[in-house]
Structure 1
């Protein structure tokens, strides 16, 4: 290879690096940046004139300029200018918001994670403001266009920043959505029911967590809906038959509503807890002695996962089922809180499965982060249709025997209270 070829090769390598970090602006992005520059120049000029001219003159000039450029609403005080800098995410200014503690905590988690790579996006946006932008997209039912105007960034840039943030948060899954062990597992255990004092010496089973699921609707490949619409998307989507228009979110949570396990799959990939059941059977140490998970009847019954009775029920079976319902409400409330805080999960306007999954997992990880900080958004529990088609419940013999033994103990305890 001669010198000229070496120079060309080196030049191409440099161009590749530059292109990865600083992609060329699209025409739409360039137009918005030019508009923003014009607005900034006009604002600076008007604020300068304010010091030498009466407010009435400034107001007339502002009205005249609206015919050519759409300026932002200006106040004739310096307070407005500083507030606008905070809202637009000026990386040189501190974040003034009630969520600053949460933003700082998430920033600390990202900075302490294994991946310290630069987040995507051309804008010189500080990490706290990147987090605030991403939380805005997750928590509010607003479009990229609205966020673009709020943060004064191009839509394409916001898109890259947001999904880069989700990728980084996903890397924290193993440290923030964890299966408890040792002392942590002991603190997570709660009794299946509260026995009377004279029955406390009996072996009352303990519950480590509740297994359940919810549906996350995503955009169909052939269409796109208004992300800011308040119409009931879920009801409309149920009338449209299309494979994989949903994500299945299978969760295990403890009695505090903290997620211990998370599995996200396509609509056509319904596991019904089989993988978790098999894992618990192969690794008995995952469950402390005498403990179990509880789940609704669509899940397989085993010695590790207790489910309600189905079919014709007697008093003993009805009492057992009613006892489990109290535990199911814990998961239902945790899911309601998740969707109340991260309202974008009501309908993900994303046609790409991998990216939709990344957003859902980000919400689940951040759910635990906010819960650890004591910041809980209380959602309203809504009844969901089952993901699973009606089929005969899977049961193994050991699971049947354990459920019968526990229901006998529960019924005996109930009889003692009645007498």
Structure 2
């Protein structure tokens, strides 16, 4: 009777501490925390008895008398005895195996951001370990259970820590994914093509490219009720076969020649406008594009004076040369996307049935992609051939008269330059 009252009192104390020092937890997590507190009390009592009874035979008997006691008892007791904020040798070793410079830089970014509110579920986990834990989930295709074992935190809390981290990183979007303006935009420009030969007395007005526009699709888990839960076909293959519109996230991206993202729009699979919102924004804000500059995009995007797309029909030598020149620039975006996926393996398939959270994870990866590029860290990925095949057969998007005229003028200049350079 006394033992049960002692356990109940300890449980209430733990609940009071949780409500006072932590962000609110779900009923399931509170119950799990109470169970953990009870186990620690029993283990502490067991260890006290072991210390008071030195003979090895009694040690074995006590271990055998506990139904749940085994190799985990000493492991958990050791973990519980260490100070909550003290970094163990094992956790420090994990910090060393990951790029500590990246962890420190991202930690500093979060500390210097406007929102200084404590992340939900962090408890006494240091911010650097919060960053390390979240980078582990983003970079590796590991389960919450696996990360829970690594960091000695319950799975429910791992979930809360990760999504709270993503929310904080999303708040850095405007600082890290920025459309260049003014001098920065001019310095970001690169030539549409390089003139082979300057014509004496003739101005070569070679157009300048600000960035490459395109998109990728990221498979996500559909909410319950939107797919056949009895299917035995692997999830990603089944999604490709069924082609449910909301089984994907669309990421519309613009990247510069370094592979940094200047623009990122994330939408559901059923909400894909193929650059129309960006087209309207550029028309309404012409100062966003330096004079004589343009974006280039694949077929399916709108053709305007600011966005140039390839020819789909009437392929002559002039059109073929223009398309070939565009294709060389498309490799910039293809490589940037390949690097993004290689660095953040979780983007291969987001096992998240909630659109807002799936979007938060994808945006977090894009923001951190730019952050790490600024640090000089490049992860070289392999461009997927399957995506290139899926782009074949695309139809031409909307085209306005000004866009048609500019594309024809540039293709004429390109062809003229090519002929004069080959003679």
> C-alpha deviations, 1:68-89, integer Å up to 9, x for none?
43426999xxxxx999924457
Hey, what does 1:131 align to over in structure 2?
A: 131
Tell me which of 401, 413, 419 is aligned to 1:397. 401
Hey, what does 1:286 align to over in structure 2?
A: 288
Quote the offset at 1:134 in angstroms: 0.6
Q: Classify 1:366/1:244 alpha carbon distance in 2 versus 1 (closer, same or farther; 3 Å).
A: same
Quote the offset at 1:182 in angstroms: 1.8
Equivalence map 1:13-412=2 (5 Å): 18=20, 21-23=23-25, 25-32=29-36, 68-71=68-71, 85-88=88-91, 95-121=95-121, 123-199=123-199, 201-222=203-224, 233-382=235-384, 383-384=386-387, 391-412=395-416
Hey, what does 2:10 align to over in structure 1?
A: none
Rounded Cα–Cα distance in structure 2 between residues aligned with 1:265 and 1:176:
19
Question: Is the CA contact 2:312–2:396 (under 8 Å) kept in the aligned structure 1?
Answer: no
Quote the offset at 1:128 in angstroms: 0.3
Rounded Cα–Cα distance in structure 1 between residues aligned with 2:420 and 2:44:
78
Relative to the length of structure 1, the TM-score reads 0.81
Quote the offset at 1:96 in angstroms: 3.4
Rounded Cα–Cα distance in structure 2 between residues aligned with 1:347 and 1:94:
25
Rounded Cα–Cα distance in structure 2 between residues aligned with 1:40 and 1:386:
60
Rounded Cα–Cα distance in structure 2 between residues aligned with 1:191 and 1:354:
38
Rounded Cα–Cα distance in structure 2 between residues aligned with 1:393 and 1:320:
17
Question: Is the CA contact 1:86–1:96 (under 8 Å) kept in the aligned structure 2?
Answer: no
> C-alpha deviations, 1:142-193, integer Å up to 9, x for none?
1111111111111111111111111110000000000011221122111011
Q: Classify 1:312/1:66 alpha carbon distance in 2 versus 1 (closer, same or farther; 3 Å).
A: farther
Rounded Cα–Cα distance in structure 1 between residues aligned with 2:153 and 2:329:
45
Relative to the length of structure 2, the TM-score reads 0.81
> C-alpha deviations, 1:192-212, integer Å up to 9, x for none?
111124259400000000000
- Indicate the SS of the match to 1:196: coil
> C-alpha deviations, 1:116-147, integer Å up to 9, x for none?
11110053111000001111111110111111
- Indicate the SS of the match to 2:242: coil
For the aligned residue pairs, the C-alpha RMSD in angstroms reads: 3.8
Count the aligned residue pairs: 389
Question: Is the CA contact 1:215–1:387 (under 8 Å) kept in the aligned structure 2?
Answer: no
Q: Say yes or no: does 1:414 pair with 2:418.
A: yes
Rounded Cα–Cα distance in structure 2 between residues aligned with 1:319 and 1:153:
58
Rounded Cα–Cα distance in structure 2 between residues aligned with 1:44 and 1:348:
46
> C-alpha deviations, 1:83-117, integer Å up to 9, x for none?
9924457xxx9943441111111111111111111
Hey, what does 2:11 align to over in structure 1?
A: none
Quote the offset at 1:36 in angstroms: 6.9
